[in-house]
Structure 1
Amino acid sequence: MKLFPKIVAVCCSSLVLTSCMEVLDKTDLGSTSGALIFNDSTLTQMNLDFVYDQNLPTGIATLGPGSPNSPSVTTLSDESFGESKLLEGSLLVNEVGDFGTALSATNNYGKIRVINMFLSDVNAGTLPQYTKNKLRAQAQFFRAWRYFDLVRLYGGVPLVLTPLAAVGVEARDKAFLPRNSTTETFAAIVKDLDSTIASVPGRWNSSDWGRITKGTAAALKGRVLLTAASPQFNPGDAVAKWQTAYDANKQAVDLLTANGYGLHASFDQLWFQEVNNPEAVFVTGFNTATGDQARKNNGYDNATRPSYTGTSGGSNQPSWEMVKAFPMLDGKKPGESTKYAYSDQLFYKNRDPRFNKTIAYNGVNWPLNGNTSYKLWTYFAGGKTVEPKATNTGFYTRKAVNPTPAIGDVQFSGTDWIEIRFAEVLLNLAESAVGINKLDEAYTQLIAIRKRAGIEAGTDGLYGLKANMTRAELFSAILDERQIEFAFEGKRFWDLRRWKLIEKTLNGTRRTGVTINLKTTGVPADFATTRDNINLDLAYTNYFTLEFKPLDTKYAINWKPEYYFFAIPQSAIDNNPKLIQNTTWGGAFDPLK
């Protein structure tokens, strides 16, 4: 996979590129003009690669720089657990701070400034117009990506679409921009994405795999407009917003399909195919390269697996609520299936095949570190864990964890991160289709996802879906499907938030973990040495007990309604007198307009 090297401004680092060296041989870098840089296709491409490097998502998102402890979004839903002021209900006005309250190259506005400078400089250069358009379009995608992050946090924000002067009183006063409306912010995002769709290829050559395509931009546009149509931004359920979202997601599916994208044949192996992976719509490439390119590692794998099988680890531990959410093999919910009985004691039996490909549990065969016969044991014996370090929830996430590397090598994982999968585009289309009462089309997409997962078709061919669901039931079914399909991909929190379902799902509860205890009587004396060969059902039935425990020990969850639009940090308002606070935080700015 192509690595986008980290290049700052005109610096070519150690890359030996002829056109670059011609410039460096003849030019004082301290006074190099933008015109010289952006008249050269190689230098311009290097600057664009820096934009990629700054903005590509690198794994499960945190809420944002400046947020209280920048929590991973997996800890803000029913997927996992973790203390947070958001879930405690004690969030203060300054505590979701990715608004640009300080000079920083790493917050959203710092990154937008770099993008705007690139767009301006490319436009002023002498490259052919077709080349300019293609280069600018990729940068516009990332500007849309940054503004989408801002609008879903705060509602409308100041739209800065050209570089602002950096110094002087006059420049400071011109930088005091008011907030654009939420509608205007969404419109600016869509405009940038439409420009991207018009000017980039539908598919790049293999050497440029991972660059933004027409389908990538269309898929992000679909995600953006689906968010705008959801109850967070559309409490009146305006059908026009659902129609706009449907049109965008239909365009995305059509563009991607026409260019060879689609569902990967394997739900679990899709993470380990890189170049030309049909499911990877918006992807960040990682590698283990050395030589002329720097090694660029994906930290998710090492952080997610058990710590004793890597060099860190144990993050993204599934809660019992997440474990219980998976359907049975026939697609019915646990307790609702008439074909497969469910019990908590044998929670792993006859589940949706995605269960064993997502959840690692006590006694499961989990190939790791090159050992294809490795079995994970997480039980307690005599009150002590048999693990070197116990999992807090009783479970681990196994999705996208590479089974091949040896223990000392897992921190150098080159597995790509897929931010938007083709499966998401299908479910975005399904949800927006329900919004405009095209219920049959929603069924079509849901069935495609469940069929790929390996759920049984059933005599009605509905893969466990209830026949003739109402609009409300289909919306709920799609959210349930997203919870399973995208578990630990950083989607669940945003889904609950845009549907304003966090209170209903979490408030008043404490997420749950499981301690699996080995009984003190009736267990074979040699169990510790023979357990890998024992029948797991026999072991769970006769030798183990399950003890359920609250993971949230300090408080019951208390998400507050005003968190659906976070406060503009007071420090930002102090810096810019034209900013107005959201109505939900005592100001006059309505984030729904």
Structure 2
Amino acid sequence: MKKRTMIIRYNISLKLKSLLLVITFATMMGCDSVLDDVEDLSNYPGQGTFDDVQTVNAYLSALYGSTFGGWPLNFGNNADESGGIIAPNWITETNGTMKFWPYNIIRRVNIMLEELPVGEVPVGDQDELLAQAKFIRAFLYFKMVYYHGGVPIIEVPQNLDDDLEVTRNSTAECFDFIIRDLDDAISGLPATYNGDEFGKIDKVFAKAFKAKVLLYKASPQFNPSNPYDNSSWQDAYAANLEAKQYLEGQGFGLLDNYTAVFETSNHRENVFSVVYQDPIKVNGRREDAVRPLSESKNATGGDQPIWALAKAYPMKDGKIPGDPTSEYSYDVQHFWENRDPRFEATLVWNGAVYPVSGKSGRRQYTMANVSHSVDAFGYVIQGGQGQYRTGLFCRKGIMEELPIELVGTNDVDWPEMRFAEVLFNFAEAANETGHLDEAVQVLLDIRARAGIEPGSDGMYGITSGMNRDQLREAILQEKYIEMAFEGQRFWDLRRHRKLDRLDGMKKYGVMAMTLNGKAYNEVTSEDQLAANSSTLLPDEFTYEIVELISNGPKEMSMPETYYFFPIQSSHIDRNPKLEQNVGWSGGTFDPTL
């Protein structure tokens, strides 16, 4: 059997903080099995791979690395978080955008599930290993399903003599399969992994993830004809209640400090972390791309917040900006004042203190001729740049103490799932099943942790007596704020079939128009010196909300067909038994339930 040798790093704990072994491991890199180059199906792990716990863990570690990524840089461009514009024909049948077809990884999982039980690893050591593999398979299938709807269910490693032209299973069959794999995983996993084993899939994560899967199954995305009264919502509520209670029993909950969620590791809010540690594994946050360009290197100015997100944050008393009942007045010229503390924890505005590169007291400026030119939100695109500038920067997940030359060594863990998401998932299911008080309590808990003032009624600015529709909107809005730049917003709008809110949307930034009455072309050398010494304050400037400057499209395009992405045509060309989704060229497959 032909094999290819690869070097992988093995860490039995997956934490990559204790013993790190570098071993030579003969294995296959995989192919798209059901649909791709059949010659690669001859590759198979070397003899003895599944006879030793260490080599099995090495194989499993490689599966982790292929399945779980880091922070989703610029994913907010797809929604109303950051500045990119999604143009028409962003997704087509022929391009690779929003396609997920990981049958190469699934084949490797199936090999492990087939070979480990007949290997020489003691049976008592197999359960946790097999359970982790089952979870990974469920995780991959779930992502395929919420991208494309039903897909072929392949439970064994395919070989050259197999019939590789398979049909798509129904979406309902796929959900059943995913839940079976998750139930198997839950039964074989310990409650948690701690210490050197932190970072492995455990029962806590599996239960919370199963609850999320059932939330999607109940959602309008999959049930457009009966979006909020279908029977799956009861299953979603039961699973999310069970997950919430189980996690709380294991000591999980919200941290007291919102910022600490993203600046510390191995804490009680992170349900599952993709672990980073300098120098072994770094830059999952892509801090080099998120920082202001003047304090980074090889940067692209990613995750720049737009005005819609900035405006969404409530005031300190939880009321929306401009609400006449708020204790705090609001106007655009002082938009940063008296806001929800998460505003400052997430956003950086003109004149805000932002001590990146370890520069204590440093202020960030965005006005042309005051700021560094690559940070400016100007009247034209500066210096031939093709990038927009929103006048705002993202602070979340940034290790501000890193000097420019070490900006790529950020080792903040990526919270693949955190307890706040578990609460939001529970709140949604509770709201749709008549448990409105339980849903409201989630909002109260989230806002209390954020540091919003409770008010005399103890409602943290939340409107009392909301009906189901109003509370649904309140939950989505709160999650928009709480989980900004964590890759949730686009999927939430899509899951609720609310992409029409993005379709045709223009995006805006906040421009510093004048400094002490002077326009950008009237700024003096003294003003520039004051900026260099960080003595100019935000309220010395005037501001205007303006459409983003861009060489490209001006409006977002989010057609109805984006609720289910198409199967890439190259896969259908190789396997004519695959049906395309309804709404796409030649599509006959209905991906809904």
TM-score (norm 2): 0.86
In 2, Cα distance between equivalents of 1:295 and 1:241: 40
Amino acid at match of 1:514: V
Q: Which residue of 2 aligns with 1:440?
A: 437
Whether the aligned pair in 2 keeps the contact of 1:511 and 1:551 (CA below 8 Å) is no
In 2, Cα distance between equivalents of 1:537 and 1:379: 11
In 2, Cα distance between equivalents of 1:163 and 1:11: 17
Partner SS, residue 126 of structure 2: helix
**Is 1:280 the counterpart of 2:270 in the alignment?**
yes
Distance 1:281 1:304, change over 3 A: same
Q: For structure 1, list consecutive stretches of 5 or more residues without a partner in the other structure.
A: 13-30, 62-71, 101-106
**Is 1:335 the counterpart of 2:283 in the alignment?**
no
Q: Which residue of 1 aligns with 2:447?
A: 450
Whether the aligned pair in 1 keeps the contact of 2:318 and 2:462 (CA below 8 Å) is yes
Distance 1:46 1:181, change over 3 A: same
Aligned-residue offset at 1:248: 1.6
Paired residues in the alignment total 542
Partner SS, residue 462 of structure 1: coil
Aligned-residue offset at 1:191: 1.4
**Which aligned pairs between 1:147-296 and structure 2 lie closer than 5 A?**
147-165=141-159, 167=160, 170-171=161-162, 174-235=163-224, 236=226, 237-275=228-266, 277-289=267-279, 294-296=280-282
In 2, Cα distance between equivalents of 1:570 and 1:33: 30
Whether the aligned pair in 2 keeps the contact of 1:516 and 1:547 (CA below 8 Å) is no
Aligned-residue offset at 1:507: 2.1
How far does the alpha carbon of each residue in 1:357-393 deviate from its partner, in whole angstroms, 9 at most, with x for none?
0001111111212223121111124xx7544443500
Whether the aligned pair in 2 keeps the contact of 1:158 and 1:180 (CA below 8 Å) is yes
How far does the alpha carbon of each residue in 1:2-47 deviate from its partner, in whole angstroms, 9 at most, with x for none?
22979788359xxxxxxxxxxxxxxxxxx99856221211111111
Q: Which residue of 2 aligns with 1:374?
A: 362
Whether the aligned pair in 1 keeps the contact of 2:253 and 2:268 (CA below 8 Å) is yes
Whether the aligned pair in 2 keeps the contact of 1:35 and 1:124 (CA below 8 Å) is no
**Which aligned pairs between 1:332-371 and structure 2 lie closer than 5 A?**
332-336=319-323, 337-371=325-359
In 2, Cα distance between equivalents of 1:176 and 1:561: 30
Aligned-residue offset at 1:89: 4.6
Q: For structure 2, list consecutive stretches of 5 or more residues without a partner in the other structure.
A: 1-13, 28-42, 378-388
Q: 2:463 aligns with which of 466, 471, 493?
A: 466
Q: Which residue of 2 aligns with 1:591?
A: 591
Q: 1:324 aligns with which of 300, 311, 316?
A: 311
Q: Which residue of 2 aligns with 1:77?
A: 79
In 1, Cα distance between equivalents of 2:374 and 2:566: 43
Q: Which residue of 2 aligns with 1:60?
A: 72
Distance 1:569 1:354, change over 3 A: same
Aligned-residue offset at 1:433: 0.3
In 2, Cα distance between equivalents of 1:282 and 1:551: 38
Distance 1:199 1:398, change over 3 A: same
Q: Which residue of 1 aligns with 2:35?
A: none
Amino acid at match of 1:10: F
Distance 1:518 1:587, change over 3 A: same
Partner SS, residue 454 of structure 2: coil
Amino acid at match of 2:573: D
Q: Which residue of 1 aligns with 2:15?
A: 2
Distance 1:582 1:270, change over 3 A: same
Aligned-residue offset at 1:430: 0.5
Amino acid at match of 2:317: D
Distance 1:576 1:536, change over 3 A: same
Partner SS, residue 265 of structure 1: coil
Whether the aligned pair in 1 keeps the contact of 2:113 and 2:133 (CA below 8 Å) is yes
Partner SS, residue 447 of structure 2: helix
Q: Which residue of 2 aligns with 1:143?
A: 137
Distance 1:138 1:84, change over 3 A: same
Amino acid at match of 1:398: R
Aligned-residue offset at 1:329: 0.8
Distance 1:230 1:32, change over 3 A: closer
**Which aligned pairs between 1:442-591 and structure 2 lie closer than 5 A?**
442-503=439-500, 505-519=501-515, 521=517, 526-530=526-530, 536=537, 538-540=539-541, 544-551=542-549, 553-585=552-584, 586-591=586-591
Whether the aligned pair in 2 keeps the contact of 1:89 and 1:560 (CA below 8 Å) is no
In 2, Cα distance between equivalents of 1:412 and 1:567: 37
TM-score (norm 1): 0.86
Q: Which residue of 2 aligns with 1:424?
A: 421
Whether the aligned pair in 2 keeps the contact of 1:429 and 1:442 (CA below 8 Å) is yes
Aligned-residue offset at 1:182: 0.6
Q: Percent identity?
A: 35
Aligned-residue offset at 1:112: 1.1
Amino acid at match of 1:229: A
In 1, Cα distance between equivalents of 2:273 and 2:295: 26
Whether the aligned pair in 1 keeps the contact of 2:208 and 2:240 (CA below 8 Å) is yes
Q: Which residue of 2 aligns with 1:396?
A: 393
Partner SS, residue 38 of structure 1: helix
Please say which of residues 31-40 and 151-160 is displaced more in the overlay: 31-40
In 2, Cα distance between equivalents of 1:10 and 1:219: 33
Please say which of residues 354-363 and 225-234 is displaced more in the overlay: 225-234
Distance 1:159 1:33, change over 3 A: closer
In 1, Cα distance between equivalents of 2:345 and 2:561: 37
TM-align CA RMSD: 2.5
Amino acid at match of 1:256: L
How far does the alpha carbon of each residue in 1:472-516 deviate from its partner, in whole angstroms, 9 at most, with x for none?
01110000011000000111110111111111x222221112221
Distance 1:364 1:3, change over 3 A: same
Partner SS, residue 273 of structure 2: strand
Distance 1:248 1:320, change over 3 A: same
